Amino acid sequence: MADLITKYKNKSYRTIEWDLRYQKIPEEIIAATLSALREARAEAKRDKLRARRIDTAWAEIVEALQHERRIVRSMLRYKTAEPAPERDDLVNQYAYILNELYAKLAKRRKERMPPEHSHWVDFIPTRVRDAFEEAASSIPVRSRAKVKQPFERRLPLALYDRRKARLLRSTRAELHTMQEKGNAEAVDLLEKAIALIHDIPEGNHIPNTWHEVINDADVG
């Protein structure tokens, strides 16, 4: 298949057809060649789109993680008015976990496989998240010693806007399809999903699909 694509790169089907006829290739072989080439080009296009979607998914996960790492680095540089060893220890441990996760995700990204989660927080085991959240809540309150809640499923605003706009576009497209088919039940569900997507607070994580938005609302 790949050999056909390379052999006939940048050539139209009409040009290929006439070139083969000029070579006095039998019509049935010409037809089979063109059919195989169409299939190969279609498959190559699907592979390219899939690779682009995977790359975008990983890029957005890493973008949100890098945003969190920048926040934590600024916390590490911040000097509290009073000594806050518990706070400093927690921030250092949190920074270590984020650095380890970044290295892990960077390696996974090179494997070119789709990520199993859409937000970096979900790659952290629940027991680890719970332990950090408990530690953060137990830190004594001191003057100006700010402690960030660890593992929030947040997005930088530019990424939030991109993901929200993309999800709204795809959901509206599906709504239009269901309206044309006269599927009233699906239309009601999709209209509910669109309303819920609009209501996702600024900076909160935007799921990949409207189904997840509906499920999250039902669970909530």
**pLDDT mean values, one per 10 residues, the chain (220 residues):** 82 93 92 93 94 96 98 84 79 95 96 95 96 87 69 96 98 97 96 97 96 83
CB 91 within 8 A of CB 75: yes
> Among 112, 148, 146, 122, which Cα is nearest to 133's?
148
Beta strands in the chain (DSSP E): none
Sign of CA pseudo-dihedral 152, 100, 124, 113: positive
Compute the distance between CA of residue 181 and CA of residue 218 in angstroms, rounded to an integer. 26
Compute the distance between CA of residue 201 and CA of residue 83 in angstroms, rounded to an integer. 35
What per-residue confidence (pLDDT) applies to 1?
Answer: 54
What per-residue confidence (pLDDT) applies to 5?
Answer: 87
Compute the distance between CA of residue 66 and CA of residue 106 in angstroms, rounded to an integer. 11
> Among 66, 2, 72, 64, which Cα is nearest to 37's?
2
What per-residue confidence (pLDDT) applies to 79?
Answer: 72
What per-residue confidence (pLDDT) applies to 137?
Answer: 84
Compute the distance between CA of residue 186 and CA of residue 183 in angstroms, rounded to an integer. 6
Neighbours of 55 (CB within 10 A): 12
Pair of tokens at residue 82 = 């009073």
Q: Whole-model pTM?
A: 0.84
What per-residue confidence (pLDDT) applies to 146?
Answer: 66
